[in-house]
Structure 1
């Protein structure tokens, strides 16, 4: 009797689970209020969306921020009708490229376009950055959309989201042209319920890795963390397995671009921390506790390993590189946290990139230069 009763309870619980799962699946297919950008391994672009952000927590940002997406799902002007007659450029990266909490006309890609406009005719520049994207996401975006769009140039800003990011997990692996590597991937790509759970986990993981953009670091309230050279060397030594796969992913991005006639340009990742004192607050940027058991000096030392990979791969494959990590001064007026730019910072970044990119464009697309 006891075994029979237990069996009935298990079967009833299984029945309830299946019914609830099926109902949730139906409801989420009708209406999904969270509007995630990634479904399984496929990126769903936020087409024709406009978001008004009322900022009450971060004094370094505008109180009201407008974030708009065009019919391509990117930030910037609509796709020109005469595509081939335009100098088409896309910026690809994570949240430090998207600049989610900067207004449409204050992101560094927008400012870059404005500063390049006087030098080149028919310039079309769009921001294809997405919060949380690493080089895994860049490759999916490239495969799913960008090689079909075929801009003349893609400017990649990568590095920080790839730190300690190893080989693809089941939700990072790439599915090209709708293919599924196994049953597990097929289920996750086609179930709204499982996709919802997967994206909630992704969001939690991104927040844990300090990739969110709605917070602010108050340097004056930070803690001091002293690390010895040996401690930093140990943390750097832990990066090798990640660096090897990162190098492979960057090489794949470059090879894909070249295969489809797109010119890749890369930028090294800049952060606030790592060297000297902040000129605004006087806080020591080397001993500031950045979390994840690292101080500023250690964080920069680790990030520079990834930047070195970018430098090496670009040199090896003869790809233009803009070394923003070196060129952007350490100044808290440019950042509202460790990596994300304020309005002032975005403008400064555009001012640094403009002459570098202007030179690259002039050499490779001279027909678009004004006489």
Structure 2
């Protein structure tokens, strides 16, 4: 009897466990289903919000290897387009739809009394580093806001882009900027050309590919091989967020790892195998200018030879894991050698030259790091830049007036 009752109790217990297990599974399935439905609803809600606000939007057409913009199909990464950067010391920096560092769009046709100058170069020209919205091109505009030179108003347009070398400057000038009919262009490229020599030379190429086809510059477009995923703003935004987190973590890891500096130096000699390509690029820029009756002004690039500021300036570069840097004295010697090429080309081509490297000197107060300028540095650079260009423009315009005057006098004599 007791045995029978025990069997019945065990059976009831097993049935209860089975029922409880079944109920637990049902609850689990229900909870998972609710979670999935909630995720789907949130996904579509975010999709709607992202589409309404433009988050995760892709350009209408993306080319292979084009990263920053499709403004110019011949540039791996284009200029900043319709971009705003808030400055810590107040105000904001704007780039317009044409890639100029200004808020308003620039007409192709100039006013009759405008003398148009376009400043070309890399981050030292484009610059937002001083967080005060100061750049030497803008300083010239302030210096000549209420002044004219031989009846002309000087206006400087900043068309520089961080990371640009003479190669990008040449392409941007030829395909984007000639249409704006500049009277003068100023060119300050050195460091971005120089450090191409530090990249591994895999293919013995002279077109700067070893640097500018690196992932940091030539990242392939998002979801290139996943067309369905390209249609979701949420997935695109998430992908970009993950990539940014990865980049940030890599920087932190490099900073935290003991014994591994942000910059890896070498005592081995690094040959300047691309120096002649740098020279050719400069000559080509001058040739384009002369062909289109544009005054070309070449400038050396300032550099502060300070170890701490050198590491601050170059330590953040994402491509540092790919390259070896020469020690600071050797780097300085190389930079001066490239600056000498700039001066030589200016002499050979008989174009104006400004030795900004010498003028800015080694004044610590002018530099945030080795290559970018403080507010005081930008003001000093802008002062020198304005004075030198004023002299050049004055002489040029007076020569033009004298030629016109001689031509008119010759015509009068012929009529007599």
8 Å CA contact 2:265, 2:325 repeated in 1: no
8 Å CA contact 2:309, 2:369 repeated in 1: no
The answer as to 2:201 corresponding to 1:168 is no
8 Å CA contact 1:226, 1:295 repeated in 2: yes
Partner of residue 115 from structure 1, selected from 143, 150, 174: 143
The answer as to 2:165 corresponding to 1:134 is yes
8 Å CA contact 1:105, 1:111 repeated in 2: no
313-322 vs 36-45, which deviates more?
A: 36-45
Partner of residue 299 from structure 2, selected from 261, 267, 270: 267
TM-superposed CA distance for 1:114, in Å, is: 1.8
The whole-number CA distance in structure 2 between the counterparts of 1:334 and 1:106 is 12
The whole-number CA distance in structure 1 between the counterparts of 2:305 and 2:286 is 29
Question: RMSD value over aligned CA atoms?
Answer: 4.3
TM-superposed CA distance for 1:293, in Å, is: 4.0
TM-superposed CA distance for 1:108, in Å, is: 1.2
3-state SS of paired residue (1:83): coil
TM-score by length of 1: 0.64
Aligned to 1:67: 93
Q: Deviations over 1:306-341 (max 9, x none)?
A: 101100011000010000011112122211111011
Partner of residue 95 from structure 1, selected from 123, 128, 135: 123
TM-superposed CA distance for 1:140, in Å, is: 1.2
Poorly superposed stretches of 4+, deviation over 6 Å:
188-192, 283-291
The answer as to 2:360 corresponding to 1:332 is no
8 Å CA contact 2:119, 2:186 repeated in 1: yes
TM-score by length of 2: 0.58
Alignment of structure 1 residues 192-207 onto 2, 5 Å: none
Partner of residue 364 from structure 1, selected from 396, 399, 402: 396
8 Å CA contact 1:94, 1:134 repeated in 2: yes
TM-superposed CA distance for 1:164, in Å, is: 3.9
Aligned to 1:145: 176
The whole-number CA distance in structure 2 between the counterparts of 1:226 and 1:69 is 36
Partner of residue 49 from structure 1, selected from 57, 79, 83: 83
Q: Deviations over 1:169-215 (max 9, x none)?
A: 55999xxxxxxxxxxxxxx999765699xxx9xx99xx9xxxxxxxx
8 Å CA contact 1:156, 1:264 repeated in 2: yes
Unaligned residue ranges in structure 2 (runs of 5+): 1-55, 198-205, 213-217, 231-239, 248-260, 316-323, 402-416
Change (3 A) 1:138 1:148: same
Report the number of matched residues: 285
8 Å CA contact 2:279, 2:342 repeated in 1: yes
Aligned to 1:83: 110
Change (3 A) 1:358 1:50: same
Larger Rg: 2
Aligned to 2:279: 247
Higher helix share: 2
Partner of residue 157 from structure 1, selected from 181, 188, 208: 188
3-state SS of paired residue (2:278): helix
